[in-house]
Every structure is written in C-alpha cells, then in structure tokens.
Amino acid sequence: MVPDDDKRTIPLYEEQLEIDKLQTVTDRVKVSTHVDERTVLLEDTVERGDLTIERIAVDRAVTEAPEPRQEGDTLIVSLIEERLVVEKRLFVIEELRITRTSTTEHVAIPATVRTMRATVAHAKQPPATGE
C-alpha cells in the first residue's frame, strides 16, 4: 500500500459550453390599411313648433296693467292704452292670444360612415447570410 502522503492529485479539465445567438430575419409581413366609405341614412323624429297669433278686441277698463297669463297652450298678452276721461283709467284694448302647436315628423339624413380595415401579406424572405 501507498502511504497517504504519496497520493497525488491529478487535475482534470472540464469543458465549458457557450451558446451564441445570431438574430436572423426569417419572414416579413406588410400591413396596409384601407378606408372604406359607405352612405347610411340617419333617421330620427324631430318636433317642429308653430305659433298662431289671434287678435281679439276687448275694450275693458282696468285699474292696473294685467300680467301675461297662460291658459292651456295659449299665452294671453293684454295691450293697454291710457285714455283721458274725467279721470285717467287703463283700458285693455286688445288681447294677443298666442297658441303653441307642435308636429312631429320623421326625417332621414344621409351621412358617410368610414370603416378602416387592414390587409396583411407575407413579404419576400430576405436571402440567407453566410453566417
């Protein structure tokens, strides 16, 4: 047997691996966009208002000017004048009767709507490099 002092250590070599990466274009795509237009009809209902004015002679004495008043859909506005009698009095000489009426009608308005779409196509593959 060989004594422990006589033992020798033999160094061993270990291989180390490295990975190198090379970036290579393998495929290309081309994206293009297109805008399509189409005409559509926007439909809705609208309300249209009209006023009818009716003049009614009154000739009524009052002590002060009446305020405008509302009777249903009708606004009544009194027109007054001062008259010289033995004393000054107010007279309603006319009333304006303003009646509001409304109608609803269906309308269609043409409008343009745009839609974007994309086209994707594979492009030519570049030639391979010698690396």
Q: What is the pLDDT of residues 82-119, one digit of tens each?
A: 887 777 788 898 988 888 888 889 888 888 888 888 88
Closest CA to 78 of 89, 61, 87, 88: 61
Contact between 96 and 52 under an 8 Å Cβ cutoff? The reply is no
Whole-model pTM: value is 0.41
pLDDT digits (tens, 9 = 90+) for 10-68: 777 777 778 888 888 778 888 888 888 999 898 999 888 889 999 999 988 898 999 99
